Amino acid sequence: MTQIDEVIRHGQRNRALGESILNQKSSRSHSIVRFTLSMHKTQDLISGEGERLFSELNLVDLAGSEALDTKGGGGDTINAKESKNINLSLCKLVTVINELTKKQSHISYRNSNLTKILARSLGGNAQTALIGTLSPLYEQLVASRKTLDFLKTAKKIQNKPFKNASKTKSSCKDKKKEWKVLFVLMQNKMQN
C-alpha cells in the first residue's frame, strides 16, 4: 500500500487547485486514479496453456461545474479560462452519458480526454458507481439539482460486465524457468 499511497500523493500534489468565494481550495481539474489488476492462471503445466484475467478500477473525482458569477472569478481571465475548460469537459461527459442512455449507434468518446479515458467505465465492460456531492446552501440549489439530474441520467446506463480473460500459452523460456524452479524445489524436498 505504501507505493499506492505515494502515487496518489504525487497526483494530489500535481492537481490544480484555486481559490473561490465558496471554497478556499477549489478543484481546478479532474483527478483519475486507475488500478489495473492482472492474474495468470496456468491450467496445463506442460503446455503452458492458461488464462490471463484482468480488470481495472477507476477512481474519479470530477471538478465541479463552474459558474463565474457565484465563484467570484469574473475578473480573473485565468480563472475564467479554467472554468470554461472544466464546464466544456463536463458538458462532453454529459453528452456521452445521454448518448449511452439513448443507446445511440455512435458514442462520442473521442470528443474529450476525460471521456476517452473513461470509455470502458461508462459504456463498456464495467460496473460503475457514482457519488454526487451536493451543497446545503440555498444559493447552490440549482447546481445541486443539476448534479441530481446528472446522477439520475447516468444511472440509466446499462452495461453488461463479463469476465475479462484471454487464453495464454507460455514461451519456451518461461517453461525452462518453471522447470528449473520445480527441479530445485524437488531437490530441496528430497534432501529434507
Q: What is the pTM of this model?
A: 0.69
Q: Which cell numbers hold the place of 39?
A: 492474474
pLDDT at 113 over 50: yes
Between CA 120 and CA 125 the distance in angstroms is 6
Domains recognised in the chain with CATH numbers: 2-191 (3.40.850.10)
pLDDT at 148 over 60: yes
Between CA 27 and CA 43 the distance in angstroms is 48
List, for residues 23-82, the tens digit of each pLDDT value: 666 667 788 888 888 888 877 666 667 888 888 888 888 887 766 655 444 445 557 787
